[in-house]
Chain A
């Protein structure tokens, strides 16, 4: 089971870069790493997904070291609207009939003015 751990909370100021790390020591060979963002009273929203090395899109970057036992979500120049909970998700639905498809505990990011 690719159990994940994340910091419970983080604080940042507007304009700063924020890095949130997720640990997944038991990641399986076929597992992808996906990050979601969730605002209060809304469903999670996909941010980024990767398998190894570095992935970048218009909103974030995802860094995955060679051993894949951790991953880091990087949010450049955060704004107040980035205040949310960020979930790391490691696994594949088809692996072990979904039992390994588990969201991490989430990191509550607070962006301060």
Chain B
């Protein structure tokens, strides 16, 4: 199974709502990532978890809160978002955080988020 699944596929939320995005992989990967992608732009790295510990936080606003409950699951909790946060949110996983040690990333299909 080389699949990364993400739910929901689409999400519309108001600026006062609280919602969560979910990501799951069963490849035994120990690194998991959250990316944000705006239309016609490349993915931008947000968070990296390595062995279930937050390794990198790319200066993301606190209204985005990641969580890694176990080695297969990754959540992104959303609260008080702004319309400019509307984007495609991608989850990815890799065998290891180091590119040279299996850093090939497997991406999920993404969650299309719209903030109204």
Q: Which residues of A contact B (CB under 8 A)?
A: 30-32, 34, 36, 41-46, 49, 51, 87, 91-94, 97-99, 101-106
Q: Which of A42, A44, A91, A98 contacts B48 (CB 8 A)?
A: A98
Q: Jot down 16 A-B pairs with beta carbons below 8 A, ordered by A.
A: A32-B100, A34-B103, A34-B104, A43-B4, A43-B91, A43-B108, A44-B107, A45-B107, A46-B105, A51-B100, A92-B100, A94-B97, A97-B56, A98-B45, A105-B41, A106-B42
Contact B106 A46 (CB under 8 A): yes
Given known contacts A34-B99, A104-B42, is B56 in contact with A43 (CB within 8 Å)? no
CB-contact partner of A43 in B31, B97, B103, B110, under 8 A: B110
**Whole-angstrom distance between the Cβ of A26 and the nearest chain B Cβ:** 17
Structural contact, B98 and A43, CB atoms closer than 8 A: no
Q: Which of B19-58 contact A (CB under 8 A)?
A: 31, 41-45, 48, 55-56, 58
B98 CB contact (under 8 Å) in A94, A99, A104: A94
Contact of B76 with A by CB under 8 A: no
Given contacts A34-B104, A42-B110, A43-B109, contact A93 B43 (CB under 8 A): no
